[in-house]
């Protein structure tokens, strides 16, 4: 983003010098990001309408994710070693990663490669950590407004191999340097930290500030709070385009196949369409490189054991979350098109890793269990897009591309976007997240 533009936004002025910020904000997308933007915008005194393509209670990537709040995730997806690891994984159909080569993803892959290096990782470490810690603070604040099962017991990175434990221990040192509370645990220490589940691992790292929650309860609680604050929801509202006038969007157009096709007047617009955001951005003439990263989750209603602390099986990249008496397992990152087809080989990979690390769990426990799939919106450098849309789009903001951290970063995203909508200076420097950065 050009420095001038940033100043123009934080001053809340348009190019004519008049006040840019009207009162009615239209948020496109009712996933966790759109809902958090709506919530914080309402709290700052805006009127808000959320336009969501799905019917009320419809599915999206936010619905059945692993529910983890992760200050521990300060390394972006684009990191050294990821390309070599990804290529190795692509040879194994049960591995947690695949990349489907298609022309639309070539630029994304090139940009990913450009960023998968040490200087990028070091350059965004404290930003990601700061965003996640601020978000955690906001989650704690929100939990006094409504109950969504927030559990503050940390997260265990469980390692099957000693070599993995050693590299996680190095990461733990970096985390300590960032001010986080972290403990490297032997297998016997893990049994003390979580005596409720048998583990067969070499050890693990306990990130004590991480949390977990019930994503469904969080979304429904947020929707209720938004309605109570006067927010307006329109479901079955598939946004197909925008009506522009004098360098601004003045209305958002809903497709004719939707329940009520029309235009919704907007003073400001926020694009929070998850993996579909690039299509919306294209309507505005903005290129938003993004890949869809498909992942699956399965929830056991009556698990044989219920851990107290959420965990990640480090080698298999499987997230394990106790959610109010049930146990959810989530994993895989299939970079490809926007389809939700379930690949049973990869599901098998998840189940195998679970029964290896938690010996009381057998493959059969997953028979007949619903396989949920969601599309993570992944920016190529592993950082979300948060900020003004760019030149010539005076009143449009983007909030998407959070990949594996969309739930974790949702409150801070809402908070920052509300500050931008109000014409204020965001209290975290988000220049690196500018949507027009590529």
Compute the least distance from the CB of residue 100 to ligand FAD, in Å.
16
The tokens for 43 are: 């709290």
Contact partners, residue 405, CB within 8 Å, separation at least 6: 70, 73, 128, 132, 384
Is the C-alpha dihedral spanning 299, 96, 112, 292 positive or negative?
A: negative
Which one, of 290, 295, 275, 292, lies nearest residue 96 by Cα?
Answer: 295
Query: With CB under 6 A as the contact rule, which of the stretches 111-119, 153-161, 221-229, 232-240 interacts with ligand FAD?
Result: 232-240
Q: Is 193 in the site for ligand FAD (CB under 6 A)?
A: no
Pick 21 or 28: Cβ nearer ligand FAD? 28
Residue 60 parent element (H or E) = none
Q: Is 142 in the site for ligand FAD (CB under 6 A)?
A: no
Compute the least distance from the CB of residue 385 to ligand FAD, in Å.
10
Pick 20 or 354: Cβ nearer ligand FAD? 354
Pick 8 or 40: Cβ nearer ligand FAD? 40
Q: Is 406 in the site for ligand FAD (CB under 6 A)?
A: yes
Q: Which one-letter DSSP state was computed for residue 352?
A: H
Pick 46 or 136: Cβ nearer ligand FAD? 136
Binding residue for ligand FAD, selected from 21, 30, 389, 420, defined by CB under 6 A? 30
Per the CB < 8 A criterion, the answer to whether 32 and 219 are in contact is: yes
Binding residue for ligand FAD, selected from 151, 400, 419, 435, defined by CB under 6 A? 400
Q: Partners of 28 in the beta sheet?
A: 51, 271
Compute the least distance from the CB of residue 79 to ligand FAD, in Å.
17
Which one, of 76, 80, 72, lies nearest residue 171 by Cα?
Answer: 72
Compute the least distance from the CB of residue 219 to ligand FAD, in Å.
9
Bin 137: left if φ > 0, else alpha if -120 < ψ < 50, else beta.
alpha
CA 435/CA 421 separation, integer angstroms: 15
Binding residue for ligand FAD, selected from 49, 214, 268, 297, defined by CB under 6 A? 297
Q: Is 274 in the site for ligand FAD (CB under 6 A)?
A: yes
Q: Is 236 in the site for ligand FAD (CB under 6 A)?
A: no
Q: What is the DSSP string of 272-306?
A: --GGGHHHHHHHTT-----EEEEEEEEEESS-S--
In the region spanning residues 347 to 386, those forming contacts with ligand FAD, defined by CB under 6 A, are 374, 376-377
* 3-state class (DSSP) for residue 372: strand
Binding residue for ligand FAD, selected from 1, 25, 33, 142, defined by CB under 6 A? 33
The tokens for 222 are: 């947020």
Compute the least distance from the CB of residue 108 to ligand FAD, in Å.
16
Q: What is the DSSP string of 209-278?
A: T-EE--HHHHHHHHHHHHHHTT-EEE-S--EEEEEEETTEEEEEEEPTTSSS--EEE-SEEEE--GGGHH
Binding mask 320-339 vs ligand FAD (x if CB under 6 A, - otherwise)? ----------x---------
Binding residue for ligand FAD, selected from 27, 389, 407, 412, defined by CB under 6 A? 407
Binding mask 37-66 vs ligand FAD (x if CB under 6 A, - otherwise)? --------------xxxx-----xxx--xx
Compute the least distance from the CB of residue 17 to ligand FAD, in Å.
33
Binding residue for ligand FAD, selected from 86, 96, 204, 295, defined by CB under 6 A? 295
Residue 324 burial (CB count, 10 A): 11
Binding residue for ligand FAD, selected from 115, 234, 402, 415, defined by CB under 6 A? 402
User: How far, in whole angstroms, is CA 319 from its chain's centroid?
Assistant: 14
In the region spanning residues 253 to 272, those forming contacts with ligand FAD, defined by CB under 6 A, are 272
Q: Is 34 in the site for ligand FAD (CB under 6 A)?
A: yes
CA 226/CA 278 separation, integer angstroms: 26
Query: Which parts of this chain interact with ligand FAD (CB under 6 A)?
Result: 28-34, 51-54, 60-62, 65-68, 237-239, 272-276, 280, 295-297, 319, 330, 374, 376-377, 400, 402-408
């Amino acid at each position: 983003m050009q420095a001038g533009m940033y100043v123009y936004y934080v001053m809340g002025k348009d190019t004519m010098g008049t006040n840019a910020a009207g009162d009615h904000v239209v948020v496109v997308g009712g996933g966790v990001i759109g809902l958090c933007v709506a919530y914080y915008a309402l709290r700052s005194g805006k009127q808000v309408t959320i336009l969501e393509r799905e019917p009320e209670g419809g599915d999206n990537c936010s619905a059945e994710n692993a529910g983890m709040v992760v200050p521990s995730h300060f390394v972006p997806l684009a990191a050294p070693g990821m390309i070599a690891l990804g290529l190795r994984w692509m040879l194994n159909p049960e591995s947690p990663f695949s990349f489907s080569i298609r022309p639309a993803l070539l630029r994304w892959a090139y940009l990913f490669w450009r960023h998968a290096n040490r200087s990028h990782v070091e350059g965004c470490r404290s930003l990601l950590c700061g965003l996640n810690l601020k978000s955690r603070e906001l989650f704690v604040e929100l939990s006094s407004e409504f109950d969504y099962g927030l559990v503050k017991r940390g997260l265990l990175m469980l390692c099957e191999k000693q070599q993995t434990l050693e590299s996680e221990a190095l990461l733990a040192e970096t985390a300590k340097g960032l001010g986080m509370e972290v403990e490297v645990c032997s297998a016997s220490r893990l049994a003390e930290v979580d005596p409720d589940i048998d583990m067969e691992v070499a050890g693990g790292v306990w990130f004590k500030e991480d949390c977990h929650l019930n994503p469904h309860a969080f979304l429904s609680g947020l929707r209720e709070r938004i309605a109570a604050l006067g927010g307006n929801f329109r479901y079955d509202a598939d946004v197909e385009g925008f009506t522009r006038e004098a360098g601004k969007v003045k209305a958002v157009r809903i497709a004719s196949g939707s329940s009520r096709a029309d235009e919704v007047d907007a003073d400001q617009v926020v694009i929070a369409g998850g993996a579909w955001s690039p299509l919306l951005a294209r309507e505005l003439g903005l290129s938003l490189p993004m890949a869809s990263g498909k992942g699956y989750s399965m929830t056991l209603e009556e698990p044989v054991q219920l851990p107290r602390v959420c965990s990640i099986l480090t080698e298999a990249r499987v997230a394990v979350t106790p959610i109010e008496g049930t146990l959810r397992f989530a994993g895989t990152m299939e970079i490809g098109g926007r389809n939700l087809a379930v690949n049973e080989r990869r599901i098998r990979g998840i189940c195998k890793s679970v029964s290896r690390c938690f010996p009381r769990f057998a493959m059969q426990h997953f028979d007949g269990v619903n396989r949920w799939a969601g599309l993570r919106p992944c920016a190529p450098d592993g950082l979300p897009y948060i900020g003004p849309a760019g030149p010539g789009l005076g009143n449009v903001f983007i909030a998407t591309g959070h990949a594996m951290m969309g739930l974790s970063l949702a409150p801070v995203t809402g908070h920052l976007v509300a500050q931008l909508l109000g014409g204020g200076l965001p209290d975290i420097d988000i220049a690196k997240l500018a949507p027009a950065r590529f």
